[in-house]
Amino acid sequence: MNSLAYALGQGGGGEGAGGGFGAFLPLILMFAIFYFLLIRPQQKKAKAHKQLLSAIKKGDRVVSSGGLHGLVTGLTDDVVTMEIAPKVRVKIARGSISGVATKAQQ
């Protein structure tokens, strides 16, 4: 009985002082994989979209996230007025612009 208590008192697992870091290594690797595959590309895309929105000016042809194609006729900090047909103007949120129309889309 004494030998059993002695064996349990020694830890029994055989892990040394480096066992703490070894337990966190898979967690660190998983975070690195998520960062490079999910977080970093999403941040780059958000940065590019923010630059696109700041570069919009009057006269640009834009496409909204809802699919409306139109000509920018007015701008404020949050609202873009665009003409989708002759004498038909709509106001949309600046953040809902998904891109600037290319020559092929015009």
Average pLDDT value for the chain: 86
pLDDT value for 13: 52
Element (H, E) at 30: helix 19-34
Would you state the torsion angle of the CA atoms of residues 23, 25, 31, 35, taken in this order, to the nearest 10 degrees?
A: 180
Average pLDDT over residues 91-99: 95
How far is the CA of 28 from the CAs of 18, 19, 80, in angstroms?
Answer: 15, 15, 44
Mean pLDDT of 15-28: 76
Closest C-alpha to 99, from 48, 55, 62, 58: 62
Which pLDDT score, from 0 to 100, does residue 49 have?
95
In angstroms, rounded to a whole number, what is the distance separating the alpha carbons of residues 32 and 28?
Answer: 6
Q: What is the pLDDT of residue 102?
A: 72
What percent of the chain lies above the pLDDT cut of 70? 78
pLDDT at 11 over 60: no
pLDDT digits (tens, 9 = 90+) for 44-59: 999 999 999 999 999 9
